[in-house]
Amino acid sequence: MNGFRLRRTLLYVPGNMPSMLQNIPIFQCDGVMIDLEDAVPLSEKDAARILVRSFLENYRERNKELLVRINPLDSPRGFDDLKEVLPALPDGIRLPKADTPEIVETLDTLLTEYEEELGLELGRFSILPSIESAEGIINCVKIARSSPRLIGLAFGAEDFTASLEIERTKTGEELFHARTRVVWAAKAVGIQAIDTIFADAGDMEGLRRETELIKKLGLTGKSLVNPRQIEVIHEVFAPKQEEIDYALQVIEAIGKAREMGTGVASLGGKMVDAPVVKRALRVLKTAQAHGMVDVELDEEVIYGKE
Amino acid sequence: MEITRKVQAGTLQSSDLMIFLEPADALVIEIESTVKAQFEHLIRARIEAVLERHGVRAGRVRITDRGALDYAIEARMETALKRAKEA
């Protein structure tokens, strides 16, 4: 169960707006991404990074994961952002335009330098790279392996569709292959796949449909732009009671099968073997993270003891 | 440090404040605030602390406050001072 952290909802908070920053403690999302990039005009970059640093220094009792989206590392601004905000100890950095593994490696090296300078444990700062261009999608398999600091891959559809010179639609057919590739790249190394924002904060049904779709594809959370979107996303990601009940039955069935010396069981006429148990375990871990069940489980349940 | 040019920092959104800073012979702090009656002395103390930390002894500081908390007051004042000394 170690290292399993819910990241269903990662909310962007504009870095130059005190009224939004100081609401961070009360937002019900799993994490926030304080934005120094797109939400801040060029003339206010200096002011935003000082404001964010000051806010973080004063936000001592942290109750959610805190990432800072810096400016891309292709200009001095991204470097200035790191210098100002890292001493105020965010949990990690959301890296825009992470088009190649080399860009992530550059950030990894910088973070190591800051950790040494600040006397912090190495690896303390995490990285969530934005996969948001055709190049990024092509390279995301390598990007996923580019640093042990990665907590996931975050797909960014707005910039991605811009790089493809196409419109983004609410049904998302144009994103299907890209999303799938991000999921594969992330799952292959055991990190999370975080979906893009849904820009229309007034369309809750559209948001729900999109979240249901990405959950089916294997993405485990979404970036979001408006706190009103949190509840819908959490509802979609919460395991249904039937799923939990079934998962518990699966675990019970396989346990009984093992006692009888076999690795396969039948439950309601359907075969239960290791992959089914693995999925059940995943449901229960998620349910546990939602506080919906309290069970002791470990990987041993999948294959039994040696 | 010395204030050598006219700058501004901050915004007029709620929970923020706007600071105008300009050179002057003595230190003058003028505060306009939606919560002036209750909080003027606290805003002033916070501004003075930042000025003190940066060794500013002279300059005209005009504040239009929209209910900013301490961390925002400090950040905006620091930004103004940083801008005032940049060439």
CB of B65 within 8 Å of a chain A CB? The answer is no
Query: Element (H or E) spanning A33, and its range?
Result: strand A31-35
Would you place residue A1 in the very low, low, confident or very high pLDDT band (cuts 50, 70, 90)? Answer: very low
Phi and psi (nearest 5°) for A214?
Answer: -70, -30
CB of B15 within 8 Å of a chain A CB? The answer is yes
- For the stretch B28-79, pLDDT in tens is 999 999 888 899 999 999 999 999 999 999 999 999 999 999 999 999 999 9
| Residues of chain B contacting residue A55, judged by C-beta atoms under 8 Å apart | 71-72, 75
Q: The whole model's pTM is what?
A: 0.91
Q: Percent of chain A beyond pLDDT 90?
A: 79
| Residues of chain B contacting residue A57, judged by C-beta atoms under 8 Å apart | 71
> Domains, chain B, ranges and CATH?
7-85 (3.30.230.10)
| Residues of chain B contacting residue A22, judged by C-beta atoms under 8 Å apart | 15, 69, 71-72
Mean pLDDT over A65-82 rounds to: 97
Contact yes or no for A46 and B79 at CB 8 A? yes
For residues A100 and A68, the answer to whether their CB atoms sit within 8 Å is no
Surface of A (36-95) touching B: CB under 8 A: 46-47, 50-51, 53-55, 57-58
Phi and psi (nearest 5°) for B38?
Answer: -85, -35
Q: What is the pLDDT of residue A3?
A: 56
Contact yes or no for A55 and B68 at CB 8 A? no
Q: Which chain A residue is nearest to residue B80, measuring alpha carbons? A: A47
Measure Cα distances from A251 to A268, A283, A302, A305 in Å: 14, 11, 9, 14
- For the stretch A235-279, pLDDT in tens is 999 888 999 999 999 998 888 888 888 888 888 889 888 889 989
CB of A116 within 8 Å of a chain B CB? The answer is no
| Residues of chain A contacting residue B15, judged by C-beta atoms under 8 Å apart | 18-19, 22
What is the CATH T-level fold of the domain A9-237, as seen in this structure?
TIM Barrel (3.20.20)
Shortest distance between the Cα of B31 and any Cα of chain A, in A, equals: 19
Give the distance, in angstroms, between the CA of residue A84 and the centroid of all CA atoms in the same chain: 24
Measure the CA–CA gap between A128 and A154, rounded to whole angstroms. Answer: 7
| Residues of chain B contacting residue A54, judged by C-beta atoms under 8 Å apart | 71-72, 74-75, 78
* Residue for token pair 């992470």: A98
For residues A150 and A140, the answer to whether their CB atoms sit within 8 Å is no
Would you list the domain boundaries of chain A? 9-237, 241-303
Measure the CA–CA gap between A77 and A34, rounded to whole angstroms. Answer: 15
